[in-house]
Amino acid sequence: MTKKYDYLIVGAGLFGSVFAYEANKRGKKCLVIDKKEHIGGHIYCENIEGINVHKYGAHIFHTSNEEIWEYVNQFADFNRYINSPIANYKGEIYNLPFNMNTFNKLWGVVSPQEAKEKIEEQRKKAGVEDPQNLEEQAISLVGTDIYEKLIKGYTEKQWGRKATELPAFIIKRLPVRLTYDNNYFNDKYQGIPIGGYNVIIENMLDGIDIKLETDFFDNRKELSELADKIVFTGMIDEYYDFKYGHLEYRSLEFENELLNIDNYQGNAVVNYTDRETPYTRILEHKHFEFGKQDKTIITKEYPSEWEFGDDPYYPVNDDKNNKLFEKYKGLADKENVIFGGRLADYHYYDMHHVIFHALDTIKKVFKNY
């Protein structure tokens, strides 16, 4: 019996939306479902007072892959936003990522050579030779002063664990530069979609059937019967009813405030790097789009432990969880289902990675792109 749809796509986030757009373009009939009340997954923006509020945290699109940049530009125009967050340590302001502006403010050094010597002197004094954890990695990259003021407190709040218990790779995400350059990313292309991220997802899903507030697991059998094949972008352990146990995540809570002033902090992102302030950062959304509104919306971001039922944000890719993921992946590899996106792959992907993986999946499924 022919089914109503070729694909049932579980999740209207970026992975599900790229897959749906490409399959639809190839004449396949798709149904996209999401348990949330909106499309877009974590890149969704809520428009409040004409300001696009990044509902699930600050999202800046960046990539060095020209193909991905051209791809995403089909769906929206991008502005010239460059992410340059500021660190606030007990009222002292520093530029991020760690660069000559940071080193100058902290130590008064002016030349790259002086900065290098200062970092080397602190690394030696701390006795770090072969970094084994985040603390040692950070000290080896930028020295103890920066570690103490700009990294330790922020990291321990963010991850709810001691910096000595965290893997070194986390801190390697941040550039360290001996130039006066405050661009947080090294990528060739960067920006925010004009009109917000919803424009991208709405254009991708245009003309495709969507059912919101529909949890796959509430009606698994009936939903599965609607389509020849399933594309699953939810949590891989949930797909298997947690038979080997739960994968762990870090979660976030957001507190929004609408303020009757036009400019609260003069920057889209300010990180609070001390241990005592309970939030990690304050976002001021209008600055992502150079907004001229009379009012402003700010969001305080509080990291929290994740429990089943909370929105999963950051996968905890430590050895224990990675091993558990591999067990689920072993099952998934034998299944006639397409798994993709950050929850099914249990991986911290940026948006450009997700698009890359979705297009790669399309190439494999349709044997071309």
Q: Which residues bind ligand FAD (CB under 6 A)?
A: 10-16, 33-36, 41-43, 57-61, 215-217, 233-234, 252, 313, 341-343, 349-352, 354
Stretch that binds ligand UDP, among 4-12, 166-174, 189-197, 214-222 (CB under 6 A): 166-174
Q: Which does 216 bind (CB under 5 to 8 A by kind): ligand FAD, ligand UDP, none?
A: ligand FAD
Active-site residue (options: 281, 289, 313, 342): 281
Asked if 16 contacts 231 with a C-beta cutoff of 8 angstroms, the reply is yes
CA distance 272 to 44: 25
Q: Which does 150 bind (CB under 5 to 8 A by kind): ligand FAD, ligand UDP, none?
A: ligand UDP
User: Is 250 one of the annotated active-site residues of the chain?
Assistant: yes
9 is a site residue for ligand UDP (CB under 6 A) = no
CA distance 183 to 99: 9
The number of CA neighbours under 13 Å toward the Cβ of 341 is 27
Q: Which does 33 bind (CB under 5 to 8 A by kind): ligand UDP, ligand FAD, none?
A: ligand FAD
List Cβ<8 Å contacts ≥24 apart for 135-140. Answer: 135/162, 135/163, 135/164, 135/166, 136/164, 136/168, 137/168, 137/171, 137/172, 138/163, 138/171
User: Is 173 one of the annotated active-site residues of the chain?
Assistant: yes
CA distance 128 to 136: 6
Q: Residues binding ligand UDP: what is the number (CB under 6 A)?
A: 13
CB nearer ligand UDP, residue 86 or residue 178: 86
User: Is 348 one of the annotated active-site residues of the chain?
Assistant: yes
DSSP 149: I
Residue of 267, 258, 266 whose CA lies nearest to 296: 258
User: Is 123 one of the annotated active-site residues of the chain?
Assistant: no
173 is a site residue for ligand UDP (CB under 6 A) = yes
174 is a site residue for ligand UDP (CB under 6 A) = yes
| End-to-end C-alpha distance for the chain, whole angstroms | 29
State residue 336 phi and psi, 5-degree precision: -90, 55
86 is a site residue for ligand UDP (CB under 6 A) = no
User: Is 350 one of the annotated active-site residues of the chain?
Assistant: yes
Residue of 132, 174, 352 whose CA lies nearest to 271: 174
User: Is 220 one of the annotated active-site residues of the chain?
Assistant: no
Q: Which does 68 bind (CB under 5 to 8 A by kind): ligand UDP, ligand FAD, none?
A: none
Q: What residues make contact with ligand UDP under the rule CB under 6 A?
A: 87, 96, 150-151, 154-155, 158, 170-171, 173-174, 271, 273
Catalytic residue positions, numbered: 173, 177, 250, 281, 301, 348, 350
